[in-house]
Amino acid sequence: MAGVFRMVEKNTELLQSLSNQIDALSNNEKRTERRLLNNKADVVLFFSFDIVNSTSYKTINYFGWAQVLNLLFKELREDVRNYINGSEMWRVLGDEAIFIIKIRDEEELREYISKIFGIMIATIYKLKKGKFFKSDHNFNMMKLQNILSLKTTAWIAAVNDVGDISNDDICQDNADNIFERYQSQEGYDIFEFLGNDIDTGFRISKQTQDGRMVLSYELAYLISQKTENLPYLHIVTYRKLKGVWKEKLYPVIWYHDPKAYLEFYKKEIQLEESFTFDASEESELIKEYYDNRDPKNRERIIRDDRMYTDTYYALNKILQDRSLGEKVKRLQRLIKEAIHDQTKYINTELMQIHCVAVCFKKCGDDIRILVAKRQNTREKHKGEWEFGCAKADINKSIAEKIKEEYKEDFQIDVEPVLDETREIKEPIPIALYQIARSSQPDKTDKGIIVLAEIITDYDPADFMPTKKHTEVRWISEADLDNVEREYSESVPDFKRTLEAAFKLIRSFNHSF
């Protein structure tokens, strides 16, 4: 009997050993998957607006300055949100607001830089003309004593999202810059970007001034690849920046678009025209700008005139001499390969509510439901058929948000089917679902599926492909038997959602 027990013990030990090995292999696979995920970098544009003369303004307007600066930051946030879709505010450091956005296209990058410069010029104009203060009598004195302005910085970095930096499984190989998130003791998420290129942005921000926008070298180089943008790039001087390029000379590059002034001054204003008559006296950078363009100046740090006056030559010379070719190629490759889902970095919400609207239209005695095929560049459900999706907004009703986003995505006007029996009328849900966040796999967001009637004429043949979808189609009840074959690549529960939607539509008193 004792021998039997020993045999059982040995078998148990063997099974436990095999189980441990299987678990180890499984954990290794999971770690490998996480490493592959973490090694995929996003190219991120960082840009900041820094309030000029804020310290003096606070001294002059001892009472009330906080209200003015808060209003200024609020308007900047709104302008950025309106003009640069998908952008996020990273943080506010003193009197500087820093924003980020993932880059999916080089042409899009150039448009963003133009818009950022335009926001700066428009805000300065409103400040100088007093329009920022509107007619609020509480601001009258602060309007008269206004000395505020803006300066701007923009830089670019390839960023790896490493999630929780305390996780031992995180692979940081080849990660020049990282994004991490962790929780404070109070349970709030804290977000941080770290890396050499991030630091470079803060260093070059010291090389700009009132009404000027400074760019990092890599950002300027990418913009310069479209030659019509070259006249907007001006090399002011070269300086050694702490911790940047081993403290070798770095180009101070200002971006200036003369057309940005048209709306406000009714004419284009070139860079040198925008300087005040005594700018060289007041600004060391502008003094260097002029001195560096004087061929007789023997005190220039670089003697080659073209390094100041020929931007194309200078950028390419730097690329070669600083061995930056591979870095720039990687940035261009990452942008080209980027998926087009604008997944947020700075997401402080504990949960998001996704709102899927099954959009239908009555066509005679028939009912048709609109379906859309997702782009292959989407992060999830690539190339699959779906019904579209909106995201709930804390400041808007679910019905309002659905109408707004479906109009934007499909150019259709819809009316969500509301529960008229309740005092607070919101859409009637067909089903609920949940989905893991792509940026935070450990968190899931919830979703509801509702009905929405298309209230205007709509022809799917008129649909033009977007970053989200390649095409749209009608599906009728007669098509249900063939749905699994015709739409084999579709989101989970695609057919069940169609069946439930048709059934619910028929149950309503819509005179169908």
For the chain, percent of residues with pLDDT exceeding 70: 80
Higher pLDDT, 336 or 174: 336
Tokens representing 290 are: 């002029």
Q: What is the pLDDT of residues 130-159, one digit of tens each?
A: 776 664 545 554 555 667 889 999 999 999
C-beta of residue 333 within 8 angstroms of C-beta of residue 426: no
Would you give the distance in Å from CA 111 to the centre of its chain? Answer: 14
The predicted-structure confidence for 192-249, as pLDDT tens digits, reads as follows: 888 999 999 999 999 999 999 999 999 999 999 998 999 999 999 999 999 999 999 9
pLDDT at 16: 60
pLDDT mean over 360-389: 89
Give the mean pLDDT of the chain. 83
Phi, psi of 69 (to 5 degrees): -65, -35
Rounded CA gap, 493 and 480, in Å?
A: 13
Please give the pLDDT value at position 140.
55
Q: What is the pLDDT of residue 8?
A: 43
Q: Is the pTM of this model over 0.75?
A: no
Q: How far is CA 261 from the centre of its chain?
A: 26
Summarize pLDDT for 436-491 with one digit per residue, the tens: 766 556 667 788 999 999 999 999 999 999 989 999 999 999 999 999 999 999 99
Helix (H, G, I), strand (E, B) or coil at 179: strand
pLDDT of residue 34: 45
C-alpha closest to that of 335 among 243, 248, 219: 219
Q: Which residues pair with 97 in a beta bridge?
A: 49, 92
Query: Among positive and negative, which fits the CA dihedral 482, 484, 490, 493?
Result: positive
- The rounded percent of the chain whose pLDDT value lies above 90 is 53
Closest to 475 measured CA to CA, from 388, 375, 359, 374: 359
Give the model's pLDDT for residue 120: 95
